[in-house]
Structure 1
Amino acid sequence: MRDSAVLHDFDSWLAEHPTVVTDIQKVLSDELSDAGIAFDQVSVRIKDRGSYLTKIQDPRYPDYRDFDTAYDVLGVRVTVHTTSDVILLVGVMRSLFDVVSVTDKSAQTAGRGEFGYASSHVIARVTSSTLPSLAELEGRLIEIQVRTVLQHAWAEFEHDVRYKNPGHELSPEVHRAFTLAAGLIELADQQFDSIARATSTDGDATDDTELTATMLPGVLTMLVGNEYPMSKADYYRFAVDMLAANGVTTIGELSVLCAPEALAQLQETMGYGYPPGQVRLIDDLLLFTYGRDHIRRTVHIGDHASSRPGRLGNRWQKMGQRPRN
């Protein structure tokens, strides 16, 4: 196939979707934020035109034949703080996209007895049934990389060094330094996981203790368990505000809201595709308990207050527009 023909579909599609990068970045950021999932950043890029052409012509990629089979023209990267969050985010991607494959690069590297590149790569298709805001991308393949902030720093620096030295084999000293850094990063990520687990409980609190944003993650972990992951740190002040707006200001009152039967009813009603983050869980429990009053009392709360009425309205409809018994 001639180069011009190979590039025609690439150029035409991008010309028809001039805002695709910002569209995907906004939708995914909003989805993760709405779910109460902790993440560092969502970034989106379009594959370089020359790299696309080179890969199509590379016999090592026999399934990468044309624009429709080019799975990485659209690339998404989500960075998180812990390796536990990587596992969680891959699960979230399964619920948002039609996943074709998942490759754990970390496991592949470890399986070779090495330290090095670590990331989870998800190849998926956009589906309007779960992401209606991206309906115009229906069926489009997309590559999503999920990695920790430290893994991302290593990968970016390693790529930068190799990019600046094309065609030159790096010295054994440089290879050794990269390997050592990768090993230290793996150890650091393990310690961050340990810290997250160790700080997710608060054994000194009592039922009449006033709720604060600082203590809320640990208290919720005690009340609902580890099934619901911690949210972004700054979301917890929104959660405290939402709780207070509905008269829930102490641990005892929160424990009533989070009663096992309430959680079970909410899970059955919502049919979550993945465990919601703690703050999203609180928001849904309040909506499930207080109904329209919760919408009225908290519609102004949060970083995305302008879209909150619509999001709450959609959830309220899913709940059948009536609070739980």
Structure 2
Amino acid sequence: MSEITGFEQVPSHLWQYAQHQDFLADAAQETKRFLTELALDASIDVHLVEARPKTLASYMVKSEKAKDDGTPKYTDPAAQIHDCVAARVIVYTTRARNDLADLIVSRCEFRERQNPGDTKHNGYDSEHIVISGIKDADVHWRFGALVKFLGKYQGLEIQVRSVAGHAWAEYEHDIRYKSGAYQELTPEDKGRVDQYFVEAGGMRRYMDEIFDRIEELLRPQDVGDAAPTDEPVIRVGEPSPEALDPTPLDVNTLSELIAERFPRDEPGDLPSLVVFVEQLAALGVTTIGQLEAALSNLDEGQIARLMDYPTDTTRVRKLDDELLAVFLDRYVEAAEETDRRQLLRLRLRRVRGRFAIYSLEGLDGTQRPVAAARAVRDLVKLVAEREGTAATTIRGAVGTNQSDVTPGWFPKKVETSAGPVYVATNLSRSYAETLMCELVSRIPGSGVRVKRAGDLLFEAPPENSVADSA
């Protein structure tokens, strides 16, 4: 019988890592879910989310790496190796990449954020973030394995890339680090391949730029063309405000409303309704009737189409986005939590300006697109300054005194060179267009034209048309 005279002791960090394989797999799955939900909450389009634990063999090789002087690269591998679980998110544009990276560092404690391409200058472009914790303790219970992992391993690396940046990086890595053919090339030919990758990096940058331009056309970031934040998009034309349902708005009545509004969808995070009620109260919406009036300008499914949800969406999320579409920046600012305001601002791009579709042409060129109520006020000002304030009067909607406007229609004072005029702001689109038509008819010869989404809607009559009709 042979005698065992000795054995090689397994380092503690390798033994621990071997025991954690199932736990690491769970942490990877929760990392993927965390990143997927984060992107979905912000309406950031994602091509791919992947997360995986480093294999034991790979971990062992990395932990044994040495520096150029022969000393160990990692003196404490368990604390210093940050890709034991690693994640990668591929988005379509660099704008989306930056948005998601900003979200990650705002939601997580992080040890490092860098883009290695900033120093390599070879075409590589990817955000690298090492997170060490999730800030919101209220969600820890939903990501138990991930939170436990971050407590044990001190860091988790997340890469965020555009599709163009990912294509470049994947091919470059396969050629330079995995290809035996590349290793067999002469130094001169390797230099040529390297130069080709630099040139491909230039084309990658151009592709990213083009994709960002497309994104900007679809969902503009520039708020310069956005409707003013004081524009209510509330339909209170008919019935009158006095006929609105006076039922107080609370969590229970709001839950009933969204169940009727979205009967085929799952309820969603019902505790969020408390937040909605508070935000609506800050906007002066405190009854079911007022909320129904605010939402009545939206066609069924209109906002869902604009948001382009990648998966089935809950009633709560759909209502949140509809309120965002109606109240725009005011809804964002009414949110108390900074994290929520950040998410709402990102989602706002998908609906911003969709109701600001009216523009006026005439005396001072073409105005930027505005909402219906603002277009009415602009026309009132034109009429007053051209024909006098008396010429602006329209029963119940426009008058020289605040009392001339129907109670509950939220009159807004418009300053003109001829004096102040009061104009209703709670207008249905159809009634607002009726007012536009009437106001334009009162400034013959002005050349003023009203366009809706680029199409001519109304045009001031010629100067002699009034005399001819007389």
With the shorter chain as reference, the TM-score category is: 0.5 to 0.7
What is the rounded CA distance, in whole Å, between the counterparts of 1:147 and 1:66 in structure 2? 27
Work out the CA distance in 1 between the residues paired with 2:311 and 2:86: 30
Task: Indicate how the Cα distance of structure 1 residues 108 and 151 shifts in structure 2: closer, same or farther if over 3 A, else same.
Answer: same
Residue 142 of structure 1, CA deviation: 0.5
Q: What is the root-mean-square deviation in Å for CA atoms of aligned residues?
A: 3.9
Cα distance, 1:69–1:215 mapped onto 2, change above 3 Å = same
Distance change >3 Å, CA 74–CA 199, structure 1 → 2 = same
How far the C-alpha of 1:209 sits from its partner, in A, is 8.4
Q: 1:74 to 1:255 in 2, by over 3 A?
A: closer
2 CA distance for matches of 1:265 and 1:92?
20
Deviations 1:98-147 (A, max 9, x none): 100111123223xxxx3322111111113372543223324232000011
Residue 51 (1) aligns with residue 58 (2): yes
**Range moving further from structure 2, 272-281 or 18-27:** 272-281
Q: 1:131 to 1:151 in 2, by over 3 A?
A: farther
The residue that corresponds to 1:19 in the other structure is 26
Aligned position for 1:272: 339
Displacement of 1:190 in angstroms is: 1.1
How far the C-alpha of 1:182 sits from its partner, in A, is 1.5
Once the 2 structures are TM-superposed, how far is the Cα of residue 31 of structure 1 from its aligned partner?
Answer: 3.0
Q: Cα distance 1:95–1:25, how it changes in 2: closer, same or farther (>3 A)?
A: same
SS of structure 2 residue aligned to 1:40: strand
Structure 1 contact 42–76 (Cα < 8 Å) conserved: yes
1:99 aligns with 2:110: yes
How far apart, in 1, do the equivalents of 2:125 and 2:20 lie?
A: 31
Equivalent position to 1:150, from 164, 169, 194: 164
Take 2:27 and 2:317, find their aligned partners in 1: how far apart are those partners?
34
Matched, 1:85 2:107: no
**Cα distance, 1:8–1:98 mapped onto 2, change above 3 Å:** same
Q: Alignment partner for residue 48 of structure 2, among 15, 27, 41?
A: 41
* Distance verdict in 2 for CA 1:180–1:213, change over 3 Å: farther
Higher Cα Rg: structure 1 or 2?
Answer: 2
The change in CA–CA distance for 1:59 and 1:95 in structure 2 (over 3 A counts) is same
- Aligned residue for 2:327? 257
Give the Å deviation of 1:52: 2.1
Instruction: Report the counterpart of residue 77 of structure 2 in structure 1.
Output: 66
Does residue 184 (structure 1) correspond to residue 203 (structure 2)? The answer is yes
Which position in structure 2 is the counterpart of 1:323? none
TM-score when normalising by structure 1:
0.64
Q: Which amino acid aligns with 2:217?
A: A
Q: Is the 8 A contact 1:236 1:279 kept in 2?
A: no
Residue 134 of structure 1 is aligned with which of 119, 143, 151? 143
* Identical positions, percent: 21
1:146–1:274: structure 2 CA closer, same or farther, 3 Å change rule? farther
Q: Which residue matches 1:212? A: 302
Report if the CA contact (8 A) 2:112-2:129 is conserved. yes
Given the alignment of the two structures, is residue 124 of structure 1 paired with residue 131 of structure 2, yes or no? Answer: yes
Pair 1:200-2:234 in alignment: no
Distance change in 2, residues 1:270/1:157 (3 Å): same
| Selected match of 2:193 from 168, 174, 199 | 174
Secondary structure of the equivalent of 2:50?
strand
Q: How many angstroms does 1:276 deviate by?
A: 0.8
Partner residue of 1:234 out of 282, 292, 309: 309
The verdict on how the C-alpha distance between 1:98 and 1:191 changes in structure 2, with shifts beyond 3 A counting, is: same
Distance 1:100 1:134, change over 3 A: same
Matched, 1:32 2:39: yes
- The residue type paired with residue 257 of structure 1 is F
SS in 2 for 1:78: strand
Gaps of 5+ in 2: 1-7, 228-232, 234-296, 350-470
| Matched position secondary structure for 2:86 | strand
The answer as to whether partners of 1:101 and 1:123 remain within 8 angstroms in 2 is yes
**Contact kept in structure 2, 1:42 and 1:79, CA below 8 Å:** yes
> Who is 1:4 aligned against?
10
1:254 & 1:145 partners in 2: Cα distance? 30
Aligned residues: 253
Residues 1:108 and 2:119 are matched in the alignment: yes
Uncovered stretches (5+) of structure 1, i.e. residues with no partner: 217-230, 283-325
Query: Which letter does structure 1 place at the counterpart of 2:213?
Result: S
Q: Secondary structure at the match of 1:272?
A: helix
- CA contact 1:37–1:277 (8 Å) conserved in 2: no
TM-aligned CA distance change 1:62 to 1:234, over 3 Å: same
The alpha-carbon distance between structure 1 residues 168 and 274, as it changes in their structure 2 partners (threshold 3 A), is farther
For residues 133 and 111 of structure 2, the distance between their equivalents in structure 1, rounded to whole angstroms, comes to 11
Is the deviation greater in 71-80 or in 125-134?
125-134
Give, in angstroms, the shift of residue 194 of structure 1. Answer: 1.8
